[in-house]
Amino acid sequence: MKIRNKKTKLRQTILKSALVVFLSLALALANNIPLPDAGAATIEQELQAKQQRLKELENQISQTTKDINSLVKQQNTLQNSIKIFTAQISQVTTQIVVTETKIEIAGDKITELNGQIRIKENEVERVKQNLANLIRELYQMDRSDSTIMALMNNDNLSDFINAVSQIENVHGRSYELLQDIKELKVQLEDNRAEVQEQKKELEQFEIALTDQKNLLDNQVKAKNDLLVKTKNQESIYQALLAQNKNEEDKIQQEIQDLENKIRVQLGERTSPGKKGLFKIWPMNGTLTQGYGNTGFRSLGYSFHNGLDIAAAAGTPIYNVYDGTVNGTGSSDKAYGNWATVRYELPNGRCVVALYAHMLKRSVSDGQSLKGGAVIGTEGNTGNTTRLLYGPHRGFHLHFTVFDCEGFQIVKSVNGNYMVPVGYTYNPNDFL
């Protein structure tokens, strides 16, 4: 009786193991189902071609940015200003093509990922049908006393030992194939997550495309307006520059006087910064003016309270550290479109970073931000070099770091707009 019970249990174990093995093999095969060779090759070739084109366009934008920065430093003439307008219009036009290419690439990737998901899902469905057929076959096998059953009813000790050995091998293989099943599940989940990420990128590219097209329209209009105002005469152009300079000198002097007063009240302080504390730069671009006594008196000040970083108009601006937005403002004076973010540092100190002259601001007061979050896009709003050298000549980000103590946002005496001021540190101490 005991031998018969052992045989019955062993027979059940073999049947269960056989079921697991079949299911595992089927899903493992599904895990390795390749995409159609011709289609996969075509998509891959198209993506590579578009990526290469994208690289060429971005290099072209980079060169145009260098050309514009060079022109900005040259003599302030109407002819030079028109050259800058023309270069910036060309630059934005190329940016639009870049963004359209990125949209195409994101769409291609989404299509490819969805194809991979459908293939795996269809294969799983096929395995389910095979499993149902197997269960029916096993049911018939159990009733008809198959070869496996006959083996288990054999009293030969050698055959019995071989059967036990077979069971052990089946369990070992089953474990390996079950790991393949888990990997297939992870791959499906990763594919679905990647599709969602690509969709988010696609939405961001579409927003950027709209902004860039608006910027292009504004650039063309500004160039035409300048020609209309000056009637293509250098003397009129120089007169317009002189009118702007007097007003902007007052604004910059106000900011410098307020910050000097705060510096006197607080006394000299040791910078709480540490090289590399801000793990990312606020924007990818070229440093065009540093911190301190830069001698840039032509804009109405001798002490520059931050860094100026120039890039193509509309370049994303990133938050440099985890923090909270504690101020925003917009005007056609001073810092233009700006935002300030408060950072609590590991050493117990606290600083506030100013991101200024933005084309578009993407954050609001009280918003919590992670390092790397988009603050806005680069522009030339407010008192930038455009007001001295001519309209739209100074696309750049102005980045300042203040001590939290003494930091304040005040109403300017020169107009109905707010200005952030405080005790400043060299941003290079943190970057």
Domain ranges of the chain: 2-215, 253-429
**CA–CA distance, 324 with 321 (Å, rounded to integer):** 10
Q: Which of 394, 353, 393 is nearest to 375 (CA)?
A: 353
Q: Which of 403, 407, 405 is nearest to 430 (CA)?
A: 403
Q: Which CATH topology does 253-429 take? A: Glucose Permease (Domain IIA) (2.70.70)
- Tokens describing residue 9: 């249990």
Q: Which of 408, 330, 335 is nearest to 362 (CA)?
A: 330
What pLDDT, on a 0 to 100 scale, did the predictor assign at position 159? 56
Helix (H) or strand (E) holding 351: strand 350-361
**CA–CA distance, 232 with 223 (Å, rounded to integer):** 11
- For 53, phi and psi rounded to 5 degrees? -65, -40
- For 57, 81, 92, the CA distances from 391, given in Å and listed in that order, are 26, 8, 16
Integer-rounded Cα radius of gyration of the chain: 34
What pLDDT, on a 0 to 100 scale, did the predictor assign at position 101? 93
On whether the CB atoms of residues 415 and 331 are closer than 8 A, the answer is yes
SS3 170: helix
What pLDDT, on a 0 to 100 scale, did the predictor assign at position 300? 45
Q: Which runs of consecutive H residues, i.e. helices, occur in 145-156?
A: 147-152
**CA–CA distance, 91 with 86 (Å, rounded to integer):** 9
Q: Which of 120, 119, 110, 123 is nearest to 193 (CA)?
A: 110
Written as tens digits, the pLDDT of the chain (431 aa) is 544 555 555 455 545 554 444 444 444 444 444 444 455 567 778 888 888 988 999 899 888 888 887 887 777 788 888 888 888 899 899 999 999 999 999 998 898 888 888 887 777 676 566 556 545 554 554 454 444 555 555 555 565 555 545 545 544 554 555 566 667 778 888 888 889 999 988 988 898 898 889 888 988 888 888 888 888 899 888 888 777 777 777 788 888 889 999 999 999 999 999 999 998 999 998 898 889 876 554 444 567 899 999 888 888 999 999 999 999 999 888 899 999 999 999 999 999 999 999 988 999 999 999 999 999 999 888 875 555 444 445 688 999 999 999 999 999 888 888 999 999 999 999 99
**CA–CA distance, 115 with 97 (Å, rounded to integer):** 27
Q: What proportions of the chain, in percent to the nearest 5, are helix, strand and coil?
A: 60, 15, 25
341-357 residues labelled b (16+ CB within 10 A) or e (exposed): bbbebeeebbbbbbbbb
Q: Which of 296, 314, 321, 324 is nearest to 396 (CA)?
A: 314
